[in-house]
Amino acid sequence: MPIMSELELAAMRAVEGDAVVLRDGCHWRPAYPGFYQPIHLLARFRAAEVRQPARLCWGFRAALRDEDVSDANASVPVHLLMDVQSFDESRLSRNRRSDLRRCRRQVEFRRLPTPALLLEQGHGVFLSAVQRLGHRRPLTLLEYRQRVLRRAAHGRRLFMAGLVGGRLRGYLDSYAIDGVLYTDEIFVASDALRTGIGTGLYVETFLASARDAALHAVCNGLHRPEAPDLCRFKAGLGFQVVQVPARTVIPAPIRAYLRARRPAAYYRLTGDGTALIANPGACSRPAL
């Protein structure tokens, strides 16, 4: 699969509609409205390079290089699968291995070279997943197809699809930059969950990544301890929670508000989970 430079990733994100800003040679994007982080989340910075990337922002963060970890005041809490070159099924938990055996009897996996299958059958899968999880706004068929075309136009994403009975029932899309594969989005139709297709999509993506000697790690997003079932699923795939030393700048009043009222979001922005432990009930509020 194509492994991008930061400049290529910035161009990809811009084509897809993200608000990418350039500051001192680094490209940033808002993780939340007004809060910025590098488009390559695990890129390492010198502490002196972590400066306000945009005039209108209330906070920002970046991971630090090893020589500057003493300047860290936060961390980026991520799920990482290290040494992807040596990945095999022995790294899966017993439950995930059971999922994999089941799905390989029922699911056909394909790497999609074009978006044709997604344009034809992906909207129903997308709606099923969105309605089940409630984590984003449903899209009309036209909106969905336009989004797929934007994400596939540059040819830099890896789309792994799972078909049951010849019909698309799930897909995972990923991209790679500087030796790290980011698993970006997964959508699985509710009626296919029993097949274990989610596990299969991840494993097939890992195996495709392992064929490229330039890839050494897979990042599966930020750690969400308020979603223990999701965390257990990721751990079963071989992901570990890694706290990457970082420099985070958030004004004191906003920091205090997030810590008290949005402890889960505060943890994702800073790596500080003490507020989560002290106020677990606040995790039921909508996240940022």
Answer yes or no: CATH 3.40.630.30 is held by domain 82-241: yes
Q: What is the mean pLDDT of residues 134-160?
A: 95
Q: What is the pLDDT of residue 135?
A: 85
Q: What is the pLDDT of residue 41?
A: 97
Could you tell me if 204 and 109 are in contact, meaning their C-beta atoms sit under 8 angstroms apart? yes
pLDDT band, residue 213 (cuts 50/70/90) = confident
Q: What is the pLDDT of residue 211?
A: 84
Scored b (16 or more CB within 10 A) or e, 4-20 reads bebeebbbbbeeeeeeb
Could you tell me if 136 and 145 are in contact, meaning their C-beta atoms sit under 8 angstroms apart? no
Phi-psi region of 242 (alpha: psi -120 to 50; beta: other; left: phi over 0): beta
All structural domains of the chain with their residue ranges: 82-241, 252-288
Query: 134: how many CB neighbours lie within 10 A of its CB?
Result: 8
Report CA torsion sign: 187, 193, 196, 199.
positive
Residues contacting residue 143 through CB under 8 Å, at least 6 positions apart: none
Q: What is the pLDDT of residue 280?
A: 56
pLDDT band, residue 1 (cuts 50/70/90) = confident
- Widest pairwise Cα distance in the chain: 55
Single pTM value for the model: 0.92
| pLDDT tens-digit series, residues 92-130 | 999 999 999 999 999 999 999 999 999 999 999 999 999
